[in-house]
Amino acid sequence: MANSEEQLPQDENTAAVNTAETENADNAADTTAAGQAVDAELTKLKGEVAEQKDKYIRLYSEFENFRRRTGKEKLELIQSANEQLLVALLPVADDFERAEKSFANKTDKDLEGFFLIHNKFKKVLDQHQVKVMDVGQGAEFNADLHEAITQIPAPSEELKGKVVDVVEKGYLLNDKVIRFAKVVVGS
């Protein structure tokens, strides 16, 4: 019996150890399940953060594009704000030039005021970046700059498809055509 009494404590120890191992296994299983839940939640939160970051970047890009576009539109508006007024004044410039041609032979002191006004008018147009197109006889016809009002037989073979005469000058505002040059083209 002594042996069986000795075995009894060992069986109790073994049972206690087995119980402890079972509890540790249960705790480990619980810890593993909790860890997996935390990992799943962490993965979910990382996905949400990435999604929010993507939305933020897209919104920021949209805003930057809007800001650039409105800035460009504002600059264009400022540059061409007076375009209609300047276009309306171009016939006055033409009249000044025609009058100047008719007064070219006269040197009267009364015409001095006229020439002063004409020069001042030219300076105002220059200040607003209005430039006369450089179209001369023999220049290549360009539909982007010229308006052909008529075609005549070319006086020489060299003038075919080229400007023979300029009827009305063309003008540019900030390198944008505000009035096409009216020309006669050789055919």
Each of the 187 residues of the chain gets a pLDDT tens digit; together they read 444 444 445 555 555 555 556 665 555 556 777 788 888 999 999 999 999 999 999 999 999 999 999 999 998 888 777 888 888 899 999 998 888 888 777 767 768 888 889 999 999 999 988 999 888 777 888 888 898 898 888 888 888 888 888 889 999 988 889 999 998 888 8
Question: 154, 172 in Cβ contact below 8 A?
Answer: no
pLDDT of residue 4: 47
Question: 93, 133 in Cβ contact below 8 A?
Answer: no
What is the rounded distance in angstroms from the CA atom of residue 169 to the CA atom of residue 67? 39
pLDDT of residue 10: 52
Helix (H) or strand (E) holding 164: strand 163-168
What is the rounded distance in angstroms from the CA atom of residue 133 to the CA atom of residue 140? 13
Give the number of residues written for the chain: 187
Q: What φ, ψ does residue 171 adopt, rounded to 5°?
A: -130, 150
Please give, one letter per residue, the 3-state secondary structure of 131-158: EECCCCCCCECCCCCEEEEEEECCCCHH
